[in-house]
Amino acid sequence: MVRLNRIYTKTGDDGTTALGDGTRTPKHHLRIAAYGTVDELSSVLGVALAQGAIGEPLRRTLIEIQNDLFDVGADLCVPGAAGDKLRITPGYTERLERALDAANEKLAPLSSFVLPGGHPAAAWLHLARTTCRRAERVVTELAASPEERERVNPEVVRYLNRLSDLLFVFARVANDDGRLDVLWSPGRNRGS
């Protein structure tokens, strides 16, 4: 259980922060950027939910995802694989896939890319999707570095990849099941 008696510790005043295993790491390290971007994604989802326009079951699923994102952050915060540490498992990703399949089932197939926008809730979900893609890029960059390769859970990458797909589909659902989607018209303004 997490217990916070004090919000400030002053231990980060030197530009470092503690990982979950206690080691001090520069705040600009890719690992910190990875779980910081995941935290940012959760905040974007919080703003989307605070708009009050997202109904059930999307709302409940997004709150579950916010909880998952704290698990993702905890996974990234503790380098390496140890049985007593919280790790993202294939079950997290499989749950997203089930939600993705269910939400996408009622949407018409696309004939073009979708421009972010439409209903405000959809626009916030598109912002969450792009923030998720950024988190995925940072995590994959972290995982590609030789000193971190074995210390990043590959299921985190799969989870974030599937989550960005789910957020795209949820944005379409929030756009009146795709009826309010604004589609890309390639070269539309070329002659202007």
Residues 102-111: tens digit of each pLDDT: 999 999 988 8
pLDDT computed for residue 17 by the predictor: 75
CA angle 83, 160, 107 (to 5 degrees): 135
Q: State mean pLDDT over 59-87.
A: 86
Given pLDDT bands bounded at 50, 70 and 90, which one contains residue 87? confident
Q: Measure the CA–CA gap between 117 and 115, rounded to whole angstroms.
A: 6
Q: Measure the CA–CA gap between 109 and 104, rounded to whole angstroms.
A: 9
The answer, yes or no, to whether residue 84 has pLDDT greater than 90, is: no
The answer, yes or no, to whether residue 92 has pLDDT greater than 80, is: yes
Contacts of 136 (CB under 8 A, 6+ apart): 157, 160, 161, 164
pTM: 0.90
Specify if 92 maps to a domain.
Answer: yes
Specify if 50 maps to a domain.
Answer: yes
Specify if 45 maps to a domain.
Answer: yes
Q: What is the pLDDT of residues 132-146, one digit of tens each?
A: 999 999 999 999 999
**CATH assignment of the domain containing 118:** 1.20.1200.10
Q: What percent of the chain has pLDDT over 70?
A: 90
Bigger pLDDT: 149 vs 60: 60
**Averaged pLDDT of the chain:** 90
Tokens of 152: 């990043």
Domain assignment of residue 162, given as a range: 26-102+114-179
The answer, yes or no, to whether residue 46 has pLDDT greater than 60, is: yes
The answer, yes or no, to whether residue 9 has pLDDT greater than 70, is: no
Q: What is the pLDDT of residues 15-36, one digit of tens each?
A: 777 777 778 887 788 999 999 9
Q: Measure the CA–CA gap between 170 and 62, rounded to whole angstroms.
A: 9
Q: Measure the CA–CA gap between 48 and 129, rounded to whole angstroms.
A: 12
Specify if 51 maps to a domain.
Answer: yes
Q: Measure the CA–CA gap between 34 and 32, rounded to whole angstroms.
A: 5
Q: Measure the CA–CA gap between 58 and 89, rounded to whole angstroms.
A: 22
- Structurally, how many domains does the chain consist of? 1
Strands (E), the chain: 16-18, 24-26, 114-115, 182-183
User: Could you tell me how many residues make up the chain?
Assistant: 192
